[in-house]
Amino acid sequence: MSRLDHRLEPEGEVRRFEVITGAIGRRRWSADERARILEETLVPGAVVSEVARRHGLTPQQLFTWRREARRAAQTLPAFVPAVVIPEPVLAAEPQPAAPSCRKRRIRHRRAAAIEIDVAGVTVTIENGASPATIAAVIGALKAGS
Report the distance separating Cα 82 and Cα 116, nearest Å. Answer: 9
Nearest to 40 by CA among 18, 73, 62, 11: 62
**64: in domain:** yes
pLDDT score of 80: 65
Question: Is residue 65 very low, low, confident or very high in pLDDT (cuts 50, 70, 90)?
Answer: very high
Q: 106 lies in a domain? A: no
Note down the domain range covering 135.
Answer: 114-144
Q: How confident is the model at residue 112 (pLDDT cuts 50, 70, 90)?
A: low
Instruction: Please tell me which residue, 56 or 110, carries the higher pLDDT value.
Output: 56
Of 73, 62, 70, 12, nearest in space to 38 by CA: 62
**Residue 124 falls inside a structural domain:** yes
- As a whole number of angstroms, the distance between CA 80 and CA 62 comes to 28
At residue 2, the pLDDT reads: 52
Instruction: Flag whether 128 is in a domain.
Output: yes
* pTM metric for this prediction: 0.40
Instruction: Provide the pLDDT confidence category of residue 110 given band limits of 50, 70 and 90.
Output: low
Q: Which has more pLDDT, 48 or 123?
A: 48
Q: Which amino acid is at 49?
A: S
Helices 31-42 and 59-75, packing angle to 10 deg: 100
Residue 51 has pLDDT above 60, yes or no: yes
What is the signed CA dihedral for 32, 37, 42, 44, rounded to 10 degrees?
130
With 80 as the cut, is the pLDDT of residue 45 above it?
yes
- Is 44 within a domain? yes
When divided into structural domains, the chain yields a total of 2
Per the CB < 8 A criterion, the answer to whether 86 and 77 are in contact is: no
Average confidence (pLDDT) over 26-50: 90
Q: Which of 20, 43, 74 is the last residue of a domain?
A: 74
Instruction: Report long-range pairs for 31-35 (Cβ below 8 Å, ≥24 apart).
Output: 34/65
Measured distance CA(26)–CA(4) in Å, rounded: 37
Asked whether residue 65 is assigned to any structural domain, the reply reads yes
Residue where a domain stops, chosen among 44, 74, 104: 74
User: Which of residues 48, 74, 100 is at a domain's end?
Assistant: 74
pLDDT at 139: 78
Residue 7 domain-assigned (yes or no): no
pLDDT in tens, 83-95: 677 767 766 666 6
